[in-house]
Each structure stands twice: as structure tokens, then as C-alpha cells.
Amino acid sequence: MGILAGAVCLTGSLSIPALADGVPNFAPNPSAGWFAYSRTFIPPASGAGPVRPDGAHPHVSNDEFRATGRQPTIAVADPDNPILQPWARDKVRERNQLVFSGKQIFSPHASCWPVGVPAFLLSPMTRPMYIVQGPKEVVMVLTSFNEVRRIYLADEHSANVKPSWYGDSIGHYEGDTLVVDTIGLDDRSFVDGFNTPHTKQLHVVERFHLIDGGEVLEANVHVEDPGAFTMPWDAIQRFRRYEAVARNSVGSLTQLATPEEGPLTEAICAENRDSFMGMEHAPLPEAAVPDF
């Protein structure tokens, strides 16, 4: 059904009932997780799409470096995407200029800041994302920094939504698709890895469904924010299915059977405030008021 870890508890009982007929099962066994195919959103077949890399400055990823030996580069955005309001375009250009200056650019996520929505979908690259489906909520877990996103299976948003890192997400199933509607997002987050900003008017609708025989999870994203964008736009993200395996006594690979044996491990983010080998980076968040 799904996995449960120390950082995640579903509302009420920890016993998860079977899914209703026709509802997509994003965790057919306890070891099933998802890795993103790309750190950038895929544009739609037509219409307005997300900010994309600048073709004049090709990005060489670490994976490409390992395969070809080419010098890795930091991705640069195309600031001329017509979806951007002038002030938002200026913010994207500011980051580009930092890259061109030769400075090392670390994402806010690398400094332990929550990524927000929809950038959450770009993050499970080095460690998988897990999805727990319960009767009242769906929980998505980024194991890279133990970030937990909760989607409540409800028809209406909370009466008084206050801005938060992951906003107020409500969801429902439409056939084989989980539809998620999110508002109330903190405007300190970005919508992508290019530091494309947004305002508190950001409204995101995501549609999650399985393709390729359940081996690929696709998210179709619709974004509206008249404060930051000149028009609504759409994007796509895809994830490949990952399952933990272990070697048995004769050396053969076998699928792990229980959550305790699976790959969900804790990654402690903020224990070292002087990381990044002394390089300049965003200050790590600190809790000024105790939780207890």
C-alpha cells in the first residue's frame, strides 16, 4: 500500500485500508518509490509552458560529466519566456548573472529550506519520493531532506488559509488520476530550480497518474499567479519507479518485503551550519521559538 517512517504518520490509525476499486495505487508494495527524470519541468505539447534552460548556454549535468567527461555547468534560465511579469523576469535574470559571474549557486533546498509547490516535484533526484495513500489524506515524502507534504482528501480548502511552505492542498480521485489543488503558498519559495518567483496568489493544480504499465508516474501541472505571471501555464514532470532490492544468501537479487527493510532512510539536514566547503550559501533556517 505505502510506507510509513518515523517522520510520517497518517491521521488516526496507522492501519491503511485497501484502496477503492479504480483508485491508482502509487505504492503497490512497501518498497516502491519514485525518482524524477529531470530537474526542470517538461513543457506541454502546446500553449504556455514553464521557464526552460537557455539554449544559448547548454547545461552539462553531473550525470553527463560522468558519461562524457565534459565540464559540468550550472543551468541558466531563458528569461524571455512570455509567461513572466517584468519583475519576475528581472529576478530570473539576477540568478543568471550570478551564474555568469562564476559564483557557485546552491539551491534553497540545499540550505535546508522547504522547496514549496510545484518545485517539490523536481526534487527526488538523488533519493526517492514515497507516496502513502490513506482514507483521508495522501502523504508525499522527499527522503533527501525528510520533507513531508500532506494532501487532504476533501472538497473545500480550509476556511482561513494562512501562507505556508506547502500551502493548503486538497485532493480527490478522478478515475485513475489523483487531482491536487493547492493555494496559500509562502512566497519565499520558488516554482522551479531557476529561482522563478511567485506571489501569495499562486494557485497550483496537479494531476498524478500512472503510465507505461505503472512504471512511470506522470504529473500534469497547471499554474496560475497573476502577480508573477502574465498568463496561466502548464508543465509536466515524470518519475521512474524504484524498488529496493537485496541479495539473498546465494547472491541473487530479491525484492525487499517490508518497510523496515526498504530504502527510506533519514537524512539530517541542518546539523552542520558550515557546510558547502566554506562556499557562500543561503543561511540555514533556525527555529526561534521552541515547538514544546
The cell for 200 is 501569495
Q: Confirm if 238 and 218 have CB atoms less than 8 A apart.
A: yes
| pLDDT tens series, the chain, 292 aa | 333 333 344 333 334 445 777 899 999 887 899 999 988 999 999 999 999 999 899 888 877 888 899 988 888 999 999 999 999 999 999 999 999 998 878 788 777 889 999 999 998 787 899 999 999 999 999 987 778 999 999 999 999 999 999 999 999 999 999 999 999 999 999 999 999 999 999 999 999 999 999 999 999 999 999 999 999 999 999 999 988 764 444 444 444 444 343 444 545 555 555 555 556 666 777 777 776 6
Q: What is the pTM assigned to this prediction?
A: 0.83
